[in-house]
Amino acid sequence: MKNEFLQASVFWYRYSKEKAQLSFISNNGLNSMPISRYGSYNFSHAHPTYKGCSYEGSWRNGVPHGSGHMVFPEGKEYTGRFINGIIEGVGEMKVSKNATVSTPLMSSVFFTEIPTSIEDDRYDLFKGKFKNGKLHGLASIIWSNGDSFEGYCKNGQPHGHGVYRSVSTNVGQQFYVGAFENGVKHGYGVMSTNKERYLGMWFDDLKHGKGCLITIDGTYHEGIFEKNRFLRGRVWYQPNEDEPPVIFEGEFERIGVISGKGILKMSSSDQVEGTMYGNIQTGDIKISNGTYTRFRKRLDSSAFEHDFIDEKPIENQWAVPAELKWSEIFQQFLMDDLGSENGQNFSNFEESVDDEVIKNISTRAWDRLVGNLTKIKIQKGATFDDRLERIPDPVDAQWSSSYYAMVAEFWHLSVSSSFHPLNRLVQGLIEIFCCSYNNIGTHSVLYDSAVLEFQSLIKRTYDLMRYLFIRLPPAQDMYTPVPNRPDFHHDSEDSSSSTSTAETLSLNSLQNLATYTEDETNESPTSSMHSVNTPDDFSVATPCCDFIINYLFSQCYAEIFTMYSVRLEEKDKKYWERVVYLNAYTDARLLTYLGVKPNLWPVDPENTKELDSFMIRVTAKKKFYESAIQTLQRLSGEFNPSSKLAILAETFSEISACVTQFSPVGRNHIWTSDDLFPAFMYVVVRAQLQHLGAEIRLISDFCPQLNGAGQIELMFTMLRASYVQICSEKSMP
């Protein structure tokens, strides 16, 4: 009876308490749970999606929504974003690998006391954007065995452009950068190991299609691969440094093994055409039905000039076209960061739509880019310059120097910001180019591919920028000069900034430099040169794509110039030997040898013998040519081809200024090509630029605006002619 009374008392106590709580909730409008809340929950094993999982984080309408942490029963852990109960957004997932039991090293009755041990738990780490529980978008993966991937994913698999690193006991360290499809290498990519590098097409994780393979000993194969087998193409092999390379072009059984018809070149003048079998690297080759041909060497004095001037980068039949390389990284940026529906280049559809449609496309690109910056600020806690978070006004203004200044400002702000999408793209382009052509990839045979690829990267980046700045000239006109006129729509501050770039340099013509007054000649030639402004001024104009060229060259100059140096090594070696020989001459002897007219010498023509004395010679050289020589020596210190042209123009101006100040003819002299060329050759010899051939070729390849550029084109022609003359002069050893 007593127990029943106590139970009844407890019941009514609880009843009254719960009734009071319900009354309080009802009176205060709290008759339902909040829509959004934070909490933890253990899902049952009957849950359709998260069987046996535990979750702690944000909720909405009874499902995980927002930031949270979920632990799966099989050992997975996810920390990141949820949307309506689904893993979606930026997050991090750890997938634990099963712990393994390690047995004793020796198993016998003598070691029964040694216990077995459990190895430390290891896991695969997946970070990036998730969609429906799988990586989808920009991501990184680190597997438990040490392999890693950074790039784009789709449905949990690498898909698009990415970088894969691995280490194996047989091959060592492997590095692949390029295209993926459904988790395997597919498309264009570069695979590097400690012993070789492959640059070419892939299919289903195999070398398949056009490509080239370079081994650590310098052997170069280029042609058609089929499922990792080399079938057709050419091989370049140099047995010794002092011997000419052996080249075979034709059919192969595999790497290094000839099998079929082809042409074997033992030197530049000897070749065999026929059917051959054997290993070209060991020299064991059997020839059947072969024809031997010996070519006569060109002995005329212009042979060197023709070889040097006419040799341009060309795309041979075995090479992957430059436009096909790295297409995935551009398409991914266009679709993800600029909102392009199909990742097309701007030039591909520009002519087929009207101006209003182009403006709408540009507006959509700006909206997507600014929206992505906002997301990055929230996710990374990053800060951006205010000018990057608003659309420049107006982006559809008239093309002018002010408009170029606006584009260049946006570019520099973007590539200087670590988390900006454009910076991510540009750094990726720098990485893929350097990884392709550094170290083992620095091969003279790869010169054509490297130059054409670098030109293509510049062009496609420029075309991409036209999505944002629609008044930039078309890609085929990207080397045309930026107009000097400012746009009246822009502020005066913008206009002034556009004309003060280091890449644009206005100089006086040689004729005007000869008209200095007596007062002006007392000043330095350089300051006087810039103090005169006449209608006859010539300028080294800034090309429309210079903001891209300047940055990419600053980051890739070591790789691109090394490629030029390797390609021009033989010619530059001959040039350097001649320059060292000529620099042993005294001033009087060198001036006479080069044909510089006596009235352009720095002393009275009647006393030219005094130049053979050491002190007079040094003084004369300092007076007459020091500033011009020092100016030309700065050529190798510049990385931008347009800046190199500006140095060249300044060198000619310094020559004219020196003659005006120190020679007997003074300011009354009128320059002709016959007078200028020998004097300029003297400066070239004394400047002692060791890789002048590489410098000239680089300027020629990346300054197409030189054609029809007036006086600066003439100056560059004289520089090239000086190089050719020094190399081909028969009177020197």
Question: 500 and 521 share a domain?
Answer: no
Rg, the chain, Cα only: 35
Which of 350-364, 475-489, 505-519 has the lowest average pLDDT?
A: 505-519
Question: 500 and 535 share a domain?
Answer: no
Residue 530 reports pLDDT greater than 60: no
pLDDT (0 to 100) of residue 500? 34
Tell me phi and psi for residue 394, to 5 degrees.
Answer: -100, 140
Q: Give residue-wise pLDDT tens across range 147-190.
A: 999 999 999 999 999 999 998 877 788 999 999 999 999 999 99
Q: What is the dihedral of CA 346, 163, 558, 724, to 10 degrees?
A: -60
pLDDT (0 to 100) of residue 637? 93
Instruction: Please report whether residue 273 resides in a domain.
Output: no
Residue 115 reports pLDDT greater than 50: no
Residue ending a domain, choose from 460, 479, 504 = 504
Residue environment code for 195-216, b if the CB has 16+ CB neighbours within 10 A, otherwise e: ebbbbbbbbeebbbbbbbbbbe
Tell me how far apart the alpha carbons of residues 213 and 200 are, in angstroms, rounded to a whole number. Answer: 8
Question: 439 and 513 share a domain?
Answer: no
pLDDT (0 to 100) of residue 258? 93
Instruction: Please report whether residue 361 resides in a domain.
Output: yes
Task: Judge if the upstream peptide bond of residue 678 is cis by omega within 30 degrees of 0.
Answer: no
Q: Give residue-wise pLDDT tens across range 578-591.
A: 999 998 888 788 88
pLDDT (0 to 100) of residue 501? 39
Question: 399 and 448 share a domain?
Answer: yes
Residue 356 reports pLDDT greater than 80: yes
pLDDT (0 to 100) of residue 585? 86
CATH number, domain at 511?
A: 1.20.1050.80
Q: 365 near 340, Cβ under 8 Å? A: yes
Question: 536 and 488 share a domain?
Answer: no
Question: 364 and 410 share a domain?
Answer: yes
What mean pLDDT, rounded, does the chain reach?
82
pLDDT level of residue 613 (50, 70, 90 thresholds): low
Question: 435 and 535 share a domain?
Answer: no
Hey, which residues does 287 pair with through a beta bridge?
276
Residue ending a domain, choose from 504, 525, 551 = 504
Q: Number of folded domains in the chain? A: 3
Residue 82 reports pLDDT greater than 70: yes
Question: 518 and 657 share a domain?
Answer: yes
**Residue 162, CA distances (Å) to 154, 189, 432, 438 in order:** 12, 9, 10, 19
Hey, which residues does 226 pair with through a beta bridge?
229
Q: Average pLDDT of 509-537?
A: 35
Between 214 and 310, name the one with better pLDDT.
Answer: 214
Instruction: Please report whether residue 27 resides in a domain.
Output: no
pLDDT (0 to 100) of residue 513? 35
Question: 474 and 378 share a domain?
Answer: yes
Instruction: Please report whether residue 191 resides in a domain.
Output: no
Q: Average pLDDT of 562-570?
A: 93
CA 180, 182, 184, 186 torsion: positive or negative? negative
Comparing CA positions, the residue from 320, 332, 323 lying closest to residue 202 is 320
Q: Give residue-wise pLDDT tens across range 251-310.
A: 999 999 999 999 999 888 889 999 999 998 888 889 888 888 888 765 454 555 556 666
Q: Which percentage of the chain shows pLDDT scores above 90?
A: 52
Residue 602 reports pLDDT greater than 70: no
pLDDT level of residue 458 (50, 70, 90 thresholds): very high
Domain holding 625, by residue range, is 507-540+569-728
Q: Measure CA of the first residue to CA of the last residue in the chain; give whole Å.
A: 130
The enclosing H or E element of 675 equals helix 673-687
Q: Average pLDDT of 365-385?
A: 87
> What DSSP character marks residue 505?
E
Q: Give residue-wise pLDDT tens across range 386-435.
A: 888 888 878 888 999 999 999 999 999 999 999 999 999 999 999 999 99
Q: 642 near 540, Cβ under 8 Å? A: yes
Tell me how far apart the alpha carbons of residues 265 and 272 are, in angstroms, rounded to a whole number. Answer: 6
CA angle 286, 248, 324 (to 5 degrees): 145
Question: 522 and 458 share a domain?
Answer: no
Residue 701 reports pLDDT greater than 60: yes
Instruction: Please report whether residue 26 resides in a domain.
Output: no
Instruction: Please report whether residue 44 resides in a domain.
Output: yes
Residue ending a domain, choose from 504, 528, 560 = 504
CA 689, 692, 696, 697 torsion: positive or negative? negative
pLDDT level of residue 376 (50, 70, 90 thresholds): confident
Question: 475 and 514 share a domain?
Answer: no
pLDDT (0 to 100) of residue 355? 82
Between 599 and 538, name the one with better pLDDT.
Answer: 599
Q: Which percentage of the chain shows pLDDT scores above 70?
A: 77
pLDDT (0 to 100) of residue 603? 57
Q: 222 near 234, Cβ under 8 Å? A: yes
This prediction has a pTM of 0.83
Instruction: Please report whether residue 57 resides in a domain.
Output: yes
Q: Give residue-wise pLDDT tens across range 303-355.
A: 555 566 667 899 899 999 999 999 999 999 999 999 888 767 766 666 667 78
Query: Is 6 exposed, middle or buried (CB count within 10 Å of its CB: 0-12, 13-18, 19+)?
Result: exposed
Residue 730 reports pLDDT greater than 60: yes
Residue 658 reports pLDDT greater than 70: yes
> What DSSP character marks residue 66?
E
pLDDT (0 to 100) of residue 525? 36
Instruction: Please report whether residue 301 resides in a domain.
Output: no
Question: 398 and 529 share a domain?
Answer: no
pLDDT level of residue 671 (50, 70, 90 thresholds): confident
Comparing CA positions, the residue from 710, 723, 677, 407 lying closest to residue 540 is 710
Tell me how far apart the alpha carbons of residues 366 and 520 are, in angstroms, rounded to a whole number. Answer: 52
